[in-house]
A = this chain, B = another copy of it.
Amino acid sequence: MSDSLSPRRAVRIVRVTASGAHDEDDVAAVEEPLEVRLHDRPFAVIMRTPGEDRQLAAGFLLAEGVIAHADDLGAVEHCRHPDHPKVHNVVNVFLLGAAAARLPELLAARRNVLSTSSCGICGRVTIEALQTRATPLEVSGTIARGILQRLPEELRARQPLFDKTGALHAAALFTIQGECVAIAEDVGRHNAVDKVVGQMLLDERLPLNDHVLVVSGRSSYEIVQKAWLAGVGIICAVSAPSSLAIDLAHEAGITLVGFARPAGFNVYSHASRLEL
């Protein structure tokens, strides 16, 4: 019997092609938080695809310097919530030897742990924690399909560093009239988003309801979170979204577009902002 949640989930999308817009079933990669505990105490939360959670926890602790070799590692176990037996988003790790001796110091430096986390941590809890900081966005303008569809190419045409190195993600903000107001390239996808949002923040142009955030890659929970906190109404990604990105976009009132290509795109939430 598997200890893991499924790594994929059925989603309902609007697929837009040359022949029109149609509701369809699709499949999204699951993104859910994994809480890593040390001796039953919260240490870190990792956004991951369920599966090989014990391996993920072990590899993560090695890279973080918590353990140096297998001898530092005792039991590595999924923790089950008595009321939610299907929730497997917590792995508890027992350390041995020198690593165990450092436990108090390690727990003092614990990272990214949601204060609301319990053994029932899940994407639902993650979204609820964010809801305390932001309210759902209202639809204040719509974008023409023709404008939306050319934004990925407009982004691509503004990536001089990618042209030279093949190594950079990009993010840009466009108005719903299709005007580019900010663009950034970075080795980190999240950084590129922070840079364009930060520019608008420094220019005192937030919130960005009537803007589209275009990203060169996939959309994860974190990309949607950043868009929401900046009040961006529409996200247009060249690649696929994760399950948690879709769930969060629904809650946030954000129109989430994925697989944006010259021939068409998929809409995962709030299609009412698009003139299809």
Q: Taking beta carbons and an 8 Å cutoff, which residues of A are in contact with B? A: 7-8, 27-31, 46-49, 51-52, 54-60, 62-63, 65, 68-70, 73, 76, 111-112, 133, 161, 164-168, 184-188, 191, 193-199, 201-202, 204, 206, 218, 220, 222, 225-226, 229-230, 239-242, 259
Contact of A206 among B49, B70, B218 (CB under 8 A): B70
Contact status B133-A29, CB under 8 Å: no
Q: Is the CB of B62 within 8 A of A202?
A: no
7 sampled A-B residue pairs with Cβ under 8 A = A48-B188, A49-B168, A56-B194, A56-B195, A59-B197, A62-B194, A188-B220
Task: Give the residue of B167, B194, B198, B218 whose beta carbon is less than 8 angstroms from that of A242.
Answer: B167
The complex places the Cα of A222 from the Cα of B62 at a distance, in Å, of 12
Q: Is the CB of B201 within 8 A of A73?
A: yes
Copies of this chain: 2
Query: Given A31-B187, A46-B191, A191-B46, A196 and B161 touching (CB < 8 A)?
Result: no
Given A70-B201, A187-B220, A168-B29 contact (CB < 8 Å) = yes
Given contacts A58-B194, A111-B112, 16 further A-B contacts (CB under 8 A): A7-B185, A28-B167, A49-B185, A51-B185, A52-B198, A55-B195, A56-B194, A56-B195, A59-B196, A59-B197, A63-B197, A63-B226, A70-B202, A73-B202, A166-B239, A167-B240
User: Given A49-B161, A112-B111, A167 and B29 touching (CB < 8 A)?
Assistant: yes
Looking at the assembled complex, report how far the CB atom of A9 sits from the nearest CB atom of chain B, in whole angstroms.
Answer: 9
Q: Could you tell me if A198 and B111 are in contact, using CB atoms closer than 8 angstroms?
A: no
By beta carbon, the residue of chain B nearest A199 is B55
A242 to B187, CA, bound (A): 7
Residue of B nearest to A188 (CB): B48
Q: A54-B198, A59-B193, A60-B198 are in contact. Are A48 and B186 (CB under 8 A)?
A: yes
Find chain B residues with CB under 8 A from A188 CB.
Answer: 46-49, 220
Given A65-B133, A161-B8, decide whether A184 and B52 contact each other with a Cβ distance below 8 A: yes
